[in-house]
Amino acid sequence: MAMKNQYLIDLLETVKKRNAGEPEFIQAVTEVLESLEPVVEARPDLVEAGVLDRLVEPERQIIFRVPWVDDNGKVQVNRGFRVQYNSAIGPYKGGLRLHPSVYLGIIKFLGFEQVFKNSLTTLPMGGGKGGSDFDPKGKSDGEVMRFCQSFMTELCKHIGPDTDVPAGDIGTGAREIGYMFGQYKRLRNEFSGVLTGKGLTYGGSLVRTEATGYGLCYFTDEMLKANGKSFEGKTVVISGSGNVAIYATEKATELGAKVVALSDSNGYIYDEKGVDLACIKQLKEVERKRIKEYVNTHPDATYTEGCSGIWSIPCDIALPCATQNEINKESAELLVKNGCFAVSEGANMPSTPEAIEVYLNNGILYGPAKAANAGGVATSGLEMSQNSERLSWTFEEVDAKLKGIMTSIFAACDSAAKEYGMPGNYMAGANIAGFLKVAEAMKAQGCV
């Protein structure tokens, strides 16, 4: 979609020049600026206040050395990041990604997306993201702990329960959050809600583990219902087999769908009868093994090397829950050809711009990441509330709040898309609705 507004064209040029070598960040910014074209035309006051010029630049970017000692006594060095992207509507909030592919451009794109996503949740959270190029795969618990402690030794200087509250993302789960929390508490002599996704014995919230996957299905269910459809009896393909994929599988199955495929970065399994989630949880959450092990105990299922092939499996609904740009134009075309009618994103930016064009041109119901996967951070916000009041709510209470939030996010995307002349385009709706709250707050607070 080519932009016509000269101010936006010039702004995007500046972003490209200033962030050369960071294609994911440029991709994320381009999508949002394109969606905001009608808003820019309708709201010259926001342009005047320099809201967009400020939004394309993170407030603060912290990069640091993370030295740690491996099991052989050898010093290892990783690079740590925290991008405190925008604090207009609340403390910086967003996950920590631990994956060898992490570099500044990935953290910036994730931080940028987080600003709009957090705004959509209706809770008072700004946007941030962090992480490291550390690879937890194949490391012992002791190595992971020493890395996390070293990472937090620097990170603790920059975060706090009213300043910046990190959480999990790829490679950062309950184990890593536990080690980081312990180190923060020791260094600061302070027991506070500085991280979310904590264990239930030390301030974590019920439903946070399930929240992103459940929230994805609640959002998708709303989108399906608004278009006369449902999960009932549908065949679903889900990529990934981590936190988001596992709980998306659980909720989609509860809502009457059959999930036939899951993947990891090596390959995918296909189980025509519907995947055995208890086995997947044991393999991935307890034993930390590869997905291919599934076929050892499920001889009717198949394993195929390579992860993009998963999109060639015929399905009604696709839920990408692994990583950015995992669905390209060819995969999107395959999904359409095989009769898929909805794609809803658990991962952050899993569809390339060309794939999104295929969805929109073929009438696919498209649930964009910022809206569809906001249930994780929304429940993090609920964890922050519980920590502040030093209480914990029941599973049912948190789950009901999560469901209410996902329903209101869908409604916000739907109505913004209609108001700005793009009915059914929930991507534009999410970008516009997420933007407007942040933009009003930035304008009101002056040029800071």
Residues interacting with ligand 2IT, by CB under 6 A? 93-95, 114, 117, 167, 169, 196, 348, 376-377, 380
Continuous segment of H or E residues that includes residue 269: strand 267-270
The set of catalytic residues is: 129
- Given a contact cutoff of 8 angstroms between Cβ atoms, the answer to whether 139 and 288 are in contact is no
- HEC states along 33-91? HHHCHHHHHHCHHHHHCCHHHHHCCCCEEEEEEEEEECCCCCEEEEEEEEEEEECCCCC
Binder of ligand NDP out of 118, 149, 243, 352 (CB under 6 A):
243
The span from the CA of 137 to the CA of 176, in Å, is 12
Joined together, the tokens standing for residue 55 give: 């939004």
Q: Is 80 in the site for ligand NDP (CB under 6 A)?
A: no
Q: How far is the CB of 163 from ligand NDP (least distance, A)?
A: 21
265 binds, among ligand 2IT, ligand NDP, none (CB under 5 to 8 A by kind): ligand NDP
Q: Is 210 in the site for ligand NDP (CB under 6 A)?
A: no
The span from the CA of 101 to the CA of 171, in Å, is 11
Q: Please report how many Cα atoms fall inside a 13 Å half-sphere around the Cα of residue 96, on the Cβ side.
A: 32
Residue nearest to ligand 2IT (CB): 95
244 binds, among ligand 2IT, ligand NDP, none (CB under 5 to 8 A by kind): ligand NDP
Q: Is 347 in the site for ligand NDP (CB under 6 A)?
A: yes
Interface segment toward ligand NDP; rule CB under 6 A; list 40-48, 75-83, 163-171, 423-431: 163-171
Instruction: Identify any residues that bridge with 92 across adjacent strands, giving them in sequence order.
Output: 164
Q: Which of 63, 115, 119, 58 lies closest to 84, judged by CA?
A: 58
Q: Is 205 in the site for ligand NDP (CB under 6 A)?
A: no
Going 290 to 294 to 296 to 301, the CA torsion angle's sign is negative
Helices (H), 239-289: 243-254, 277-281
Binder of ligand NDP out of 29, 170, 317, 364 (CB under 6 A):
170
Q: Is 241 in the site for ligand NDP (CB under 6 A)?
A: yes
93 binds, among ligand 2IT, ligand NDP, none (CB under 5 to 8 A by kind): ligand 2IT
Q: How far is the CB of 79 from ligand NDP (least distance, A)?
A: 18
Joined together, the tokens standing for residue 370 give: 């910022």
94 binds, among ligand 2IT, ligand NDP, none (CB under 5 to 8 A by kind): ligand 2IT
Binder of ligand NDP out of 180, 195, 307, 439 (CB under 6 A):
307
- Binding residues vs ligand NDP (CB under 6 A): 168-171, 173, 212, 240-245, 264-266, 307, 321-323, 346-348, 373, 376
